[in-house]
Amino acid sequence: MKFAPRMFDRHTRRKLVNYGFVGLTMAATAVAVIALLLILWSLVANGLDGIGLHIFTMDQPPPEMPGGLRNAILGSLEMCAIGMVIAVVIGILAGTWLAEYGEGKRIAEVVRFLNDVLLSAPSILIGLFVYEILVRPLHGFSAGAGAVALAFVATPVVTRTTEDILRLQSNQLREAGMAIGAGKSYVIRAIIWRASRPGLVTGALLGFARISGETAPLLFTSLGNPNLSFALTQPMGALPTTIYQFALSAFDDWRALAWVGALLIAITVLAANIIGRALARGSHHS
Amino acid sequence: MSVESAGPSRAARQDAFFQALCFSAAMVLMATLAGLLVALVIGGWPALAHFGPRFFISAAWDPVAEDYGAAGPIVGTLVTAGLAMVMALPLAVGIAVFLVEFCPSVLAKYVSMAVELLAGIPSIVYGMWGLFVLAPWFALHVQLPLFYVVDPDSFWGHLFEGIPNGANIFTAAMILAIMVLPYIATVLRELLLSVPTHVREAAYGMGCTPYEVVSRIMLPYIRRSAIGAVMLGLGRALGETMAVTFIIGNSHEFPRSLFASGSTIASTIANEFAEASSDLHVSALLALGLVLFVITFAALVGARLLIGREKA
């Protein structure tokens, strides 16, 4: 026998291989979608029961005592808010420079490149960096250092979105501003920024979504604090660090609180992502 | 009539000031990266000077004896990230191809949103899910059956050796694979969409099946940038901290099997830094951070160079 008998002719074989391939790509997509649903389901199944008013009105408890997550939630909000203010100011200005002044300059290419690298750099290294520049010299973990670390994580996100959004504005808009005799900086601030507002908000929301779940940069900057504190010079609790501590503990009620915290964070982050992306789509069409 | 006689006008001064302000903000970004590197070098120097090259090849990590060797975490980092890429790449290619070629457009919007949301879930949530859901499932349905079936003295027996609790290098890589999947899939999808329509239509016109068009025309067309997408995912997998810390078992032993507990650079730093007892311990952890910086920086720079900016 020189040739093994073929089960199918060439045409049928090609068709079958194609069906198999389509099936495999569907299966791959199903894996991703199922993973998402499984994770969301675990969060709801384990976290929903624990949610109640006490989560927002009581501080984190000692083991086997009733309690909530108030100190962690408020700590997260405070540090994220300060981090976002810093990130929005620096990010929008830096993105504006890249889009409006950096054209054709070598250094702009370098900044853009490094910003992209910073965007995906491991956030735990940011934690080490802030430890070295703020925590060690000042001899203590503090909420201020945590906020700065979060700002470093969010700034590249805001910079990137700002540049992309400003580039979408047409040059006629800039020329129209120049034509009525306004200076370049006035045109940028009064016309370009205003026209790009939904996009700039998107950048801020994506930055917020990125940092509100960040744990690693807080581990050695703000450290964590079981008591409610608003002082920037003191250690401060945050939702992610509390989840980290509680989830790895041996106490069932601490673990239950960790699931509640995880559910709250996931809802916040996913909402910020969805709203941000919806706004971004809206501004692309206008 | 001599209001604006001396020097540049008010508007010009304003313009110059605003431009300088924006420029300084951009410089803050450069300073951040430079500062990061300098801080890690200065902080890690005492340990590097004390141990020399032995720091990279020794697997001793003993805070009591003040003896630190980083081989365990370094190998753990490379192995988990590498395994994660092996698992994520076929899935990411499948998702990207499905979204571009086969998915009905009504559905595509929701599927790509689901994939994007997968990227939005915080690392700590992946960690909890991995520890409480994936690890027990894996121990019960994969590790235990293998434990009974595979001869412990065979090659596979050594590969699958380990305590069946699900907290090991392999499950950590599984979590990492799910986490980097959306990043790779999104870039690959953009790349596939960038293949010129006439190239695809020419192939279809010759009577190629969709499988042949994708595998022989489109994937080779984007090959170079696709390697960049993989390296982008690799960069993320290398530096991922919280999820891995939850599930890898955090053992300083040099990893000897797939199902053994291990550690990565990031998980070691996360676990020990806040409680590091001595200056040398802190310095050893910062030196580990420097190693992580160098590895991820190389991967990310490679990724950016291969993909180019527009598609990233």
* CB distance A149 to A217 below 8 Å: yes
| Distance separating alpha carbons of residues A95 and B137, to the nearest angstrom | 46
Residue type, A267: I
- What share of chain A in percent tops pLDDT 90? 82
Nearest to A18 among B28, B210, B232 (CB): B210
| Distance separating alpha carbons of residues A152 and A139, to the nearest angstrom | 21
**Contact residues, chain A, for B118 at CB < 8 Å:** 32, 35-36
The pLDDT confidence band at residue A284, using thresholds 50, 70 and 90, is low
| Distance separating alpha carbons of residues A147 and A197, to the nearest angstrom | 25
Residue type, B254: F
Helix runs in A121-196, H state only: 123-130, 136-138, 143-168, 171-179, 184-187, 193-195
Closest CA to A162 of A118, A123, A207, A121: A207
Question: Residue A201 region, left (φ>0) first, then alpha (ψ -120 to 50), else beta?
Answer: alpha
Residue A173 scores a pLDDT above 50: yes
Closest residue of chain A to B89, computed from CA coordinates: A28
* CB distance A206 to A273 below 8 Å: yes
Give pLDDT tens digits for A194-246.
999 999 999 999 999 999 999 999 999 999 999 999 999 999 999 999 999 99
Q: Are A25 and B30 inside 8 Å of each other by CB?
A: no
| Distance separating alpha carbons of residues A199 and A276, to the nearest angstrom | 8
Residue B1 is predicted with a pLDDT of 45
- What share of chain A in percent tops pLDDT 70? 96
Give pLDDT tens digits for B170-215.
999 999 999 999 999 999 999 999 999 999 999 999 989 999 999 9
Residue A106 scores a pLDDT above 90: yes
Torsion sign (Cα): B257, B258, B263, B264: positive
* CB distance B93 to A28 below 8 Å: yes
Q: Are A156 and B29 inside 8 Å of each other by CB?
A: yes
Q: How far apart are the first and last CA of chain A?
A: 69
State how far residue B168 is from chain A, nearest Cα, in angstroms: 16
Closest CA to B33 of A268, A166, A117: A117
Nearest to A122 among B92, B121, B241 (CB): B241
Angle between helical axes of B169-193 and A10-47 (0-180°, round to 10): 120
Mean pLDDT on B120-136 = 95
Lowest mean pLDDT of A88-97, A160-169, B253-262, name the range.
Answer: B253-262
* CB distance A177 to A190 below 8 Å: yes
| More confident position, B109 or A98 | A98
State how far residue A5 is from chain B, nearest Cα, in angstroms: 24
Residue A1 is predicted with a pLDDT of 47
Mean pLDDT on A4-13 = 77
Element (H, E) at B242: helix B242-247
Closest CA to B240 of B183, B172, B287: B172
> Would the ipTM clear 0.90, i.e. be above it?
yes
Q: Are B312 and A46 inside 8 Å of each other by CB?
A: no
Residue A286 is predicted with a pLDDT of 40
Q: Are A89 and B133 inside 8 Å of each other by CB?
A: no
Q: Are B214 and A21 inside 8 Å of each other by CB?
A: yes
Torsion sign (Cα): B283, B235, A223, A130: positive
B298: which residues sit within 8 A by CB, 6+ positions away? none
Residue type, A51: I
Q: What 3-state DSSP class applies to A3?
A: coil
What average pLDDT does the structure give for chain A? 92
Give pLDDT tens digits for A115-161.
999 999 999 999 999 999 999 999 889 999 999 999 999 999 999 99
Q: Are B121 and A266 inside 8 Å of each other by CB?
A: yes
Closest CA to A86 of B32, B289, B33: B32
Q: Please, is B106 exposed, middle or buried when counting C-beta atoms within 10 Å of its C-beta (0-12, 13-18, 19+)?
A: exposed
Q: Are B215 and A111 inside 8 Å of each other by CB?
A: no
